[in-house]
Amino acid sequence: MDYRIEHDSMGEMRVPADRLWGAQTQRSLENFPIGAGIETMPREIITAFGVLKAAAARANHTLKPEAMTEEKLAAIEKASEEVRSGALMEHFPLVVWQTGSGTQSNMNVNEVIAARANELAGRKLCHPNDDVNMSQSSNDTFPTALHIAAVTTLEDRLLPAADGLIDLLRGLEEKNRGIVKSGRTHLMDAVPIAFSQEISGWRSSLERSRDLLRLSLPPLRELALGGTAVGTGLNAPRGFDRQAAAEVSALTGKEFRPAENKFHALTSLDELVFAHGAVKALAADMMKIANDVRWLASGPRCGLGEISIPANEPGSSIMPGKVNPTQCEQVTMVAVQVMGNDAAIGFAASQGNFELNVFLPLVAYNFMQSVRLLSESIASFTERCAAGITPNREKMTENLHRSLMLVTALNPHIGYEKAAETASLAYRENISLKEACVRLGYLTPERFDEVFRPEEMV
């Protein structure tokens, strides 16, 4: 492999000749061989840095044009756009398990953008620290990139995925009106419920989680950029935070604004904890829906069998013909991962010591993984499972009329205790509720038929 010599404030480093990064990135690459090539800084964070660096360069050009010249701005903007588009991803090799401020990833971005800007200019025009990192610190850029990435992924990936499933469930609700089935509480038979009502519960849960996700967005729109090292804004021109936030908004088409208190913005992760809590709430709803679906589809002969779901692949390497609810299973596994990520983010957020939280890469990794996995999980479940849910009407009717909890309809006519006695006799003797009620002398056959109408109990 060919190398070139780069240097930083600590001396010289050998860097692969075909890579755009510099000495600081190389030091991190060698000092942190932890999860190399696997647990690297999330793509969403890198592309958010591309937005941030272009926005900072624009703000600097407006506020201090003598330092950020037209030529430098043009070169940095072009290089930043390549970072934002993902065209330079092979030049961002650093792992999550590095410095807790994300300093080395910020410098990785600075070095790559400076090197690419110099390539575009045809000369050594930009310096990683003096130009690309002008008016910034790793301490305010990393949380800013994290907020940009969080808003972008929630708005562009997770909320649309949730909306897609909500819309599909609303259609299933309408399609299945008029079907009555046995309800279940504690995994035991309960009073009847319309299948459309059961589906409406799933839909409404997702709508509530969607509302909570939307509530989490406004705090995430506040950016730490302009706080620099400890929140005082040292070495940033007056008004840089407002100008940079406006440029981020212009580049993304999304609303962002400067954080009111930069000391809070650098040391606290409240906004991300709250937002990921909403992500976890959605994951919990998906866990419940997936479990309901796979229970209702269990069988095909020895389970509940009240619905059918698509058969997507063989389910066993030894049992011919077996088909499993695999889309439900991927949903529940993703939900568990999101819940674990939430615990990690909560612990990390509690470690904001003095003027900085030093668990930022971990939070970035877990947050982005949760949003990415849950978005893709919901979309897959919607297309490959929920869209193919069909009711087994005969099985629903059979289970409905075999349920002893239909005896609840008799409460107003014979009282709770006599109804309980009726259900107990029917269960012990394996007879119908009507036979039990008549045998006990509580109602005549004709009166029983008048008051006992399961389909009207919903």
Catalytic residues, which ones?
A: 186, 316
Measured in degrees and rounded to the nearest 5, phi and psi for residue 181 equal -140, 175
Contact indicator for 421, 143 with CB cutoff of 8 Å: no
Quick one: tokens of 452? 């006992």
Q: What angle do CA 206, 212, 217 make, to 5 degrees?
A: 130
Measured in degrees and rounded to the nearest 5, phi and psi for residue 95 equal -85, 165
Stated as kind and residue range, the H or E segment containing 185 is: strand 180-185
Cα 432 off chain centre by: 49
DSSP 338-394: HHHHHHHHHHHHTTEETTEES-HHHHHHHHHHHHHHHHHHHHHHHHHTGGG-EE-HH
Contact indicator for 26, 14 with CB cutoff of 8 Å: yes
Q: What angle do CA 397, 403, 406 make, to 5 degrees?
A: 100
Positive/negative CA dihedral, 9, 10, 14, 19: negative
Contact indicator for 45, 105 with CB cutoff of 8 Å: yes
CA 381 → CA 86, 166, 253, 296, distances in Å? 28, 12, 30, 16
Rg (CA), the chain: 30
Q: How far apart are CA 408 and CA 419, in angstroms?
A: 7
**What are the residues facing 310 on neighbouring strands?**
none
State the virtual CA torsion across 126, 13, 100, 337 in degrees, nearest 10.
100
CA 288 → CA 101, 282, 336, 343, 369, distances in Å? 37, 10, 12, 19, 21
Nearest to 452 by CA among 405, 398, 417: 405
